[in-house]
Amino acid sequence: MFKRPLLIFCALALGMALAVFALQSSLGSRMKMVIGSAFLPLFGLSSTLDAGAEKAAEKIVPKSVLQKELNDLRLENEQLRILGLQAETLFQENNRLRTRLEWQKNIPWKRRLARVIGRDPSNWWKMIHIDLGSRDGLTNNLPVITSDGLVGRLGEVGLSRSQVILIGDPNCHVSVLLEDSREQGAIAPDRINLRDPSIVEMGYLSRNSILKPDQKVVTSGMGSVFPAGIPVGRVLDFQTMSHGLFTEARIKLAVSTSSLEEVWVLLP
């Protein structure tokens, strides 16, 4: 009496689960964004609450502290503007030289600021959600950075929400190089590091690589996803692998991926 309906139900449930499972990846990701949009009201509500809390905190901060902060920011802004002017001159000079050499011109980065609204609820991936989507001009695989360095690349893009696959995730492979020696390698992690999630392995370095701790690691520009020269991190230590066939280095990432609040998406 009890067993037959249960078996029918089990078969139905298993069938439905397998049907969802067998969806093609493109259809699956589209369905994912559609189902995920059920959370839009909650994301909106939490963003409003955050903004309200920020405003309330601003009202509590004494005027003298705000004034000091404003002065500091003005000073920093002035310094950055001078640096920007210098960079602009260098950029133009670089482009002139590239034209003479008939090289492709450097295109200045267009960027959009996005707010981090959530994180992957499972423990197997490194991924965050941001509040920009295809209606803001975002497409798959765009690089995501902060002022400190590389954050990752865009994964699935919804209408008003996108997933960012963080550096350190097995699905985010980055071609990098050591800034001073121009030695090339890749960051393609496959091991979990709970003690310090901001440490990743850089592999594919030749066995003759000249490595020193604290060397700067930047993106190499290969693979056409990440532009060249974005800071990735610094070398912590290194060891030879597979009986001296190649070298692997541990990199301390420039960006702390566990405390991200705002990120920049680089647009084409």
Partner 1 sequence: MRAVHPSLLLLFTYLAVFLECRVEWVRNLIGVQIDILPPIIVYASLTTNFATVGLLAFSGGLLFDSLSANPLGVSILPLLLTGLVLLWFRDLLLRDQPYARNMLGLFASVAVPAMTLIIMLSLGKGPLLGWGTLWVFAVLGGGGFLLTPLVFSVFDRLRNMFQYQVIETPGSFREDREIKRSRR
Contacts to partner 1 by CB under 8 A = 5-6, 9-10, 12-14, 16-17, 20-21, 23, 25, 28-29, 31-33, 35-36, 38-39, 42-43, 46, 117-127, 129, 155, 163, 165, 169-171, 189-195, 197, 258-259
Q: Which helix (H) or strand (E) holds 176?
A: strand 174-178
**Minimum CB distance to partner 1, residue 18 (Å):** 8
**Minimum CB distance to partner 1, residue 217 (Å):** 20
Residue type for position 163: Q
**Minimum CB distance to partner 1, residue 76 (Å):** 28
The answer to whether residues 177 and 217 touch, using CB atoms and an 8 Å cutoff, is yes
Residue 250 has phi, psi (to 5 degrees) of -95, 130
Alpha-carbon distance of 238 to 252, in angstroms, equals: 12
Length reported for the chain:
268
Nearer to partner 1, 24 or 208 (CB): 24
The answer to whether residues 265 and 154 touch, using CB atoms and an 8 Å cutoff, is yes
Nearer to partner 1, 16 or 53 (CB): 16
Nearer to partner 1, 125 or 246 (CB): 125
Nearer to partner 1, 119 or 216 (CB): 119
**Minimum CB distance to partner 1, residue 183 (Å):** 26
Q: Give the residue among 179, 152, 175 at the shortest CA–CA distance from 234.
A: 179
Q: What are the beta bridge partners of residue 233? A: 217, 253
Nearer to partner 1, 39 or 246 (CB): 39
**Minimum CB distance to partner 1, residue 99 (Å):** 43
For 132, other C-beta atoms within 10 Å of its C-beta total: 22
Q: What are the beta bridge partners of residue 119? A: 128
